[in-house]
Amino acid sequence: MIHSKLEEVINQQINAELYSAYLYLSMAAYFESVNLPGFANWMRVQFEEEQFHGLKFYNYLISRGGRVKLEAIEAPQFEWKSPLEVFEHTLEHEKHVTALLNNIAEVAEVEKDRATRNLMVWFIDEQVEEEGNAEKIINELKMIGGEGHGMLMLDREFSTRVFTPPVNA
């Protein structure tokens, strides 16, 4: 049976992951509204990844004898000034998620729950990739000035992104 404090923070994380999915779907809708379907695709893939993360925590909590308690999901922002602002928001959001995951890892250490600590290694490694992707796109958007042929090229590149659930997850 999982410790009650871990059950609590994992339930909070399930909500945070589902909020992240909702936020990225809102960002996809924004990109559709400004005629950037490739950017919208990129965010829909993020939406799928976050749903996967939420379900990974959901299944883990159940497997450890915990009780999943779903809460209301906060309404996400839906307007941005530019694609750059969207990705700056994405980076800040991912940093927030990293802090939440680090908190779960700390609680697992205090409770001496090695199984949860091991789970958190996967999530923390994933966050390094998430933050890195956002930073890379921010740098690219700054290089091209957020307009013109560079935006068209990025939009086309982003249209090829697909969600592939990790095999070892």
Rounded to an integer, the average pLDDT of 136-156 is 95
Task: Provide mean pLDDT across the span 123-137.
Answer: 97
DSSP category for residue 155: H
Alpha carbon of 33 to those of 37, 40, 59, 81, 110: distances in Å?
9, 9, 35, 12, 47
pTM of the model: 0.95
Cβ contact 73:23 at 8 Å: no
Q: List pLDDT tens digits, range 37-75.
A: 999 999 999 999 999 999 999 999 999 999 999 999 999
The hierarchical CATH code for the domain 4-158 is 1.20.1260.10
88-109: per-residue pLDDT in tens?
A: 999 999 999 999 999 999 999 9
Question: What whole-number distance in Å separates Cα of residue 149 and Cα of residue 151?
Answer: 5
